[in-house]
Amino acid sequence: MHIIKILFILIIMLLGAVFAVLNAEPVMFNFYFGSRPLPLALLLSLALGAGVVIGILSAIGLVLSLKRENANLRQRERLAHEEVRNLRNLPLQEQ
Radius of gyration in angstroms for the set of CA atoms belonging to the chain, rounded to a whole number: 28
The 10s digit of each residue's pLDDT in 21-32 is 888 888 998 888
* pLDDT surpasses 80 at 92: no
Which domain range does residue 34 map to?
14-88
The 10s digit of each residue's pLDDT in 70-91 is 999 999 999 999 999 988 888 7
Query: pLDDT at position 75, please?
Result: 97
For residue 33, being part of any structural domain is answered with: yes
> What DSSP element (H or E) covers 36?
strand 34-39
For residue 95, being part of any structural domain is answered with: no
As for how many domains the chain has, the answer is 1
The mean pLDDT value for 91-95 works out to 72
* pLDDT surpasses 80 at 93: no
DSSP helix/strand/coil, 95: coil
